[in-house]
Homo-oligomer: A and B are copies of this chain.
Amino acid sequence: MNILYVFAHQEPRSFNSTLKEAAIASLEKEGHSVRLSDLYAMGFKPVLDRTDFMQPKRTDVFNPFMEQMNASKNDTFAPDIMVEMNKVKWADLLVFQFPIYFTSMPAIMKGWIDRIFAPGFAFNPATQNAYDTGLLKGKRAMIVTSTGAEQSWYSREGQHGDIHELLRYITHCTLEFTGLEVLPSHIVFGASKMSEERVKEETSKYVEKLKSFT
């Protein structure tokens, strides 16, 4: 199976990097092909702007949606976008791993979504391709994340509320919207301070879960 691993943590010695390294090693050992988009390490540009378009449809007024539709039709996205889109095309499974920042993705990961899941590429309002007919149909996706706060904050009665509801704008309105089949999110709570033992436990738990999906 071909797996695109989109990863957002700044520090190679972080818990998130430990999970990522173990996951990739295990997937490759199982015979899968993995391509990694390590967003901070790549210096990924998260801002959707005029420079995303090699041959803009209009130069007087910038309409991001119109430019994305046009670039999808003519394959005229900036090179860094084309590279990521080709990885998406190649992949059977997309893994998105990030630490929770305000019950959501860090900006650099959101920018990957904003720029790569472009209309005309991942969905198409003009032809009504979304959800059941999203353009990435046939592929699967999964969120892997860690929270600083303890799990009790993210229960239905907790101060933040049910984390699955809060992440629904990603799992449903972003991933399912493009036709991706979404696997259960893997969430590690209370990850700001972890003993070495717990890091080991959480790593093997995650690796086993990934195996069950691949």
Contact = CB atoms under 8 A, between A and B. Distances in A.
Contact of A11 (B61, B160, B167, B170): B61
Given A64-B10, A166-B173, A172-B160, A107 B110 contact: yes
Interface in A105-150: 105-108, 110-111, 113-114, 117, 125, 130-131, 148-149
A2 to B, nearest CB: 24
Interface stretch (A30-38, A44-52, A83-91): A44-52
A10 B102 contact: no
B108 A148 contact: no
Interface string A22-60: 000000000000000000100000111110000000000
Instruction: List the number of copies, as a whole number.
Output: 2
A14 B62 CA distance: 8
| Main secondary structure on A side of the interface with B | loop
Contacts of A166: 168-169, 173
Contacts of A130: 159
A196 B211 CA distance: 55
A174 interface: yes
A192 interface: yes
Nearest to A178: B102
Interface in A55-99: 61-65
Contacts of A114: 101-102, 106-107
A21 interface: no
7 closest A-B pairs by CB: A107-B111, A103-B173, A46-B107, A107-B110, A103-B169, A11-B62, A102-B174
Interface of A: 10-11, 13-14, 40, 46-50, 61-65, 101-108, 110-111, 113-114, 117, 125, 130-131, 148-149, 159-161, 165-170, 172-174, 177, 192
